[in-house]
Amino acid sequence: MKKHWFNCKVSYMKPDTEGNDVKKTEQFVLDAYTYTEAETRMVEVLESEGIRPFEITQITKTNLIEVIRFAECDKWFRVKIALTTVDESKGVEKEANQYLLVSAADVRDAFDKVATHMNAVHVGYIIPSIVYQKISEVFPLEEWTPVTQSIISEEMNTEEGDINETTGEIIA
């Protein structure tokens, strides 16, 4: 199975500066194998963030191939990359579009970061568009652990001793 990036829109009530509840809608991105897994992960994320009550209003599979996160940046940009390949049998150049999601300070910063990333790949490309996205947060599977899992791990480490990472055995 192939992992996909999903765009999830969530509505919830949040108190404003005066204490009145205001309906807020935010957009999150996460990776999952199926819509069901994406919804399950989104629920886990929202509950661990303390957002209640909430409603997941939309889950959409995106055509992103990669998400590039930089810790110092909190704005997200969708970058269209046109890869150029040559069909040697026909002698024709072909373009294939791919989309990246990049965290950056502004459009210029996003362009520079993607250019650096693509120059390391050593393929011909152009960047036809960079668009700001109103994304609150991105939750890649490998960077996120459910709160219940981390609590279980902490309890096991404090009550029973440390766990050997290689064998999984508890060290007293």
- The C-alpha atoms of residue 31 and residue 6 are separated, in whole angstroms, by 6
Match 């520079």 to its residue by tokens. Answer: 112
pLDDT tier at 110 (50, 70, 90 boundaries)? Answer: very high
Q: Evaluate whether 45 touches 37 at the Cβ level (below 8 Å).
A: no
How many CB atoms are closer than 10 A to CB 17? 6
End-to-end C-alpha distance for the chain, whole angstroms: 39
Task: Evaluate if residue 23 carries a pLDDT over 50.
Answer: yes
Q: Evaluate whether 121 touches 140 at the Cβ level (below 8 Å).
A: no
Task: Evaluate if residue 163 carries a pLDDT over 60.
Answer: no
Q: Output the pLDDT for position 144.
A: 64
Bridge-based pairing state of the strands 4-15 and 54-61: antiparallel
Match 């790949």 to its residue by tokens. Answer: 121
pTM: 0.76
Q: Where are the domains of the chain?
A: 4-148
Tell me: the pLDDT tens digits for 57-68?
999 999 999 999
